[in-house]
Amino acid sequence: MPRIKIALPTNFLFSTVIPIRITDMNFGGHVGNDALLGIIHEARTQYLQHYGYGELDLEGLGVIMSDVGIEFKRELFYGDALEVWVVATEFSKVAFEIYYRLESTTGGKKTVVATAKTGMVCYDYSHKRIAAVPPTVIAKLSGKA
């Protein structure tokens, strides 16, 4: 089976710093894959909040993660701090992609430790159906508002 390769966009519009907690560690002594998914979720939440949104309030709609891909590149350890860069792209009628570039700094040198992509689908929870991505959401998240 071929390995996942994530082609990142060139322009990221938002970044946040997320420290590695002791609870992120696994039995191997490094950050577990499940914890990294949680870190990506936190970064996405902060990204949406930066634009005045939440996963249950995107101009009156919610979003559902339809898929996720993570490309692990380096280990992370307790005490590391990640700078997570986030951008939304590839908008369609009802969905869009969010890309993540996770970097750590050691000895003054930044290193990409993981890349990720989540597919997000707009969802109208009140009517229990998929809904169109609002144009204002596209404008804000793509940096055109």
Q: Is the pLDDT of residue 123 over 80?
A: yes
Q: Quote the pLDDT of residue 2.
A: 82
Residue 1: the pLDDT is 74
CB neighbour list of residue 82: distance below 8 Å, 6 or more residues apart: 17, 18, 19, 20, 39, 76, 102, 103, 104, 113
- Give pLDDT tens digits for 1-27: 788 899 999 999 999 999 999 999 999
Asked whether residue 135 carries a pLDDT value surpassing 80, the answer given is yes
Task: State CA 115 to chain mean position distance.
Answer: 9
Record the tokens describing residue 5, joined without a space. 């390769």
Render pLDDT for 62-115 as a digit per residue (tens, 0 to 9). 999 999 999 999 999 999 999 999 999 999 999 999 999 999 988 889 999 999
Encoded tokens for 118: 């989540």
The distance from CA 103 to its chain's CA centroid, rounded to whole angstroms, is: 13
8 A C-beta contact, residue 14 and residue 86? yes
pLDDT in tens, 24-50: 999 999 999 999 999 999 999 999 999
Instruction: Tell me the average pLDDT across 132-145.
Output: 92
